[in-house]
Amino acid sequence: MNSKLAVTALAFAATLAVAANVDARPFKVTPDAHSETMATFSSKASIVRLSGRTTKVDGDSEINVDNPSLSPKGTVTVDVSSFDTGIALRNEHMRGIIEAEKYPTATFKMKSLKAPKLVAEKPVDGTVTGEMTFHGVTRTVTAPVTLVYLPEQDKNYRPGDWVSVTTGFKLKLSDYGIKLPAPMLGVKVADELSIEVEGMAKGL
């Protein structure tokens, strides 16, 4: 291949790459009157099941609706200091274990998203991979994700275009440098947590 042809080929490839990303649209986690954005956790202690939830979830992303796998970007931050288990004293103990005062948030930064084209109002399953930072430790996490594209149909009901996102995964507290307390009255804190995040992001 001569130099002129090579330059032409590179220019064409660059044009295709730019064109592929033109449709990548920014979305922002936004309160929605018809659904709730939340993060929940659950774990099985020795004799009881512990669970908690928070609605303090923030995030943004860039997604190509026609091909979500093209150069996705996204960040989700959860205020772990606001997790509520339904019992005030238990909340205090939990926040002490994860040192929520020192590490009040957990952040997931998306690195890749494998999913087919988003079709209006139809759930699409995919896989998301990114870096999870919790308790000052960052680890790679891969999780299943379900996306639903909700283009605007009625401004009075839900103005704008939205994407519903649902994902869940398991993590071990010990992997993030969290020391588990000794059992008290026969109750042992579980090392493994099940995490679920669901929410609505509005197109900007």
pLDDT tens, 27-54?
A: 999 888 888 899 999 988 766 788 999 9
Q: Return d(Cα 137, Cα 12) in angstroms, integer.
A: 42
Report the CATH number that the domain containing residue 165 is assigned in CATH.
Answer: 2.40.128.110
Q: What is the mean pLDDT of residues 102-113?
A: 96
**What pLDDT is recorded for position 24?**
79
Instruction: Provide the percentage of residues in the chain whose pLDDT is more than 70.
Output: 85
Asked if residue 42 belongs to a domain, the reply is: yes
The reply to whether 5 falls in a domain is no
Distance CA 164, CA 203 (A): 11
Quote the mean pLDDT of the chain: 86
Domain range for 122 is 24-203
pTM score > 0.85 for this model?
Answer: no
Beta bridge mates, 127: 114, 144
**pLDDT at 180 (0 to 100):** 87
DSSP state of 47: S
The Cα–Cα gap between 158 and 142 comes to: 31
